[in-house]
Amino acid sequence: MNKILEFGIRLLFWSIRIIPVRLAGAIGAGIGRVTFSILSRHRNNTIRNLKRVYPDKTGSWHIRTARESFAELGRTMFELPHVYLRSEAFLRSRIETRGEDAFRTAMQQGKGVFLSACHHSNWEFGAISFSLLGYPSSLIYRPVKQSGVNRYLKQCRERFGARLFSRQDGLRWIPKTLKQGDSIGIMIDQHMSQGIEVPFLGHLANTTELPAPFIIRNQTPLFGVALMRIGHEFRFQLRFWPIPSPEMTGEREKDTLRVMSRINESFEAIIHERPELWLWVHRRWLILDEQEMDNRVADGKS
């Protein structure tokens, strides 16, 4: 069954790869909008997240932005075969950079660099873009349960020289990787059940502690990075920005909170610029959702 599923994924990707990328993206966007109409639970969660962050916007704006967020997700999914299978020359022709000089200078110091990123626009293209541009890079990822599919996707993601490390691999590889001068990419916008509570877009959310320990201990250079889609096409601007380390207090918990808060704050302008490009369907504020549910239950009993 595992091999059959892997073969099916390969066949599906090669089939979509034949379709012109702009058409593939348009088909994906259309499917995303249809999915928005069908999947009420995910639709309601997306709208609830938008209302939490943008309480002053109208109801029609929340619905429209939520629908376009689904469209962006569908567009991204149907572009993946092109990201994974098209040539290096083709992919490089579809990306421009902003702020790369500062990132390149940091990389030349040989101390390694942490790159914090979000599920923004076509984040898979963003993830491989560092190795595509010639930078040694390592990425933390969540494996797919089916081993054959996971092996194939990992192969696609590493095809330009990046190295992927599963969350299950632990963190012992990080110091060695930094000493080699690599960049290490970490997604910071997912709910982490064992994380710390840090504001994200103005509301508390369970957040990973990485890369705070290394910033606190070694002052490793830290950058934010985001892939901004140009219009609705398969063209992007990869933006880098340095994230200055906060003043340290010497207390681990406080310093970790300060580092992660500064990282999260640095993404606010990017997300606010084009909200529909971010993955609002994710239950980023699960702790607040659960608190609100508990309050409703308590009110019902009183």
Residues 249-279: pLDDT tens digits? 999 999 999 999 999 999 999 999 999 999 9
Instruction: Measure the CA angle with vertex 100, ends 182 and 264; round to 5°.
Output: 75
Residue 124 pLDDT > 70, yes or no? yes
Omega before 275 within 30 of 0, i.e. cis: no
Percent with pLDDT over 70 in the chain? 99
Residue 56 pLDDT > 80, yes or no? yes
Residue 153 pLDDT > 90, yes or no? yes
How much is the pTM?
Answer: 0.95
Look over the chain and give the mean of its residue pLDDT values, rounded to a whole number: 95
Q: What is the mean pLDDT of residues 153-168?
A: 95
Half-sphere exposure of 92 (CA within 13 A, CB side): 9
Could you give the dihedral angle defined by the CA atoms of residues 102, 125, 114 and 243, in that order, rounded to the nearest 10 degrees? 50
Residue 302 pLDDT > 70, yes or no? no
Sorted by where each begins, the domain ranges of the chain are 2-283
Q: What is the mean pLDDT of residues 218-229?
A: 97
Q: Please, which pLDDT band fits residue 280 given cuts at 50, 70 and 90?
A: very high
Question: Cα(33)–Cα(70) distance, rounded to whole angstroms?
Answer: 6
Q: Please, which pLDDT band fits residue 2 given cuts at 50, 70 and 90?
A: confident
Residue 298 pLDDT > 80, yes or no? no
Q: Please, which pLDDT band fits residue 296 given cuts at 50, 70 and 90?
A: confident
Question: Cα(203)–Cα(237) distance, rounded to whole angstroms?
Answer: 28
Q: Please, which pLDDT band fits residue 161 given cuts at 50, 70 and 90?
A: very high
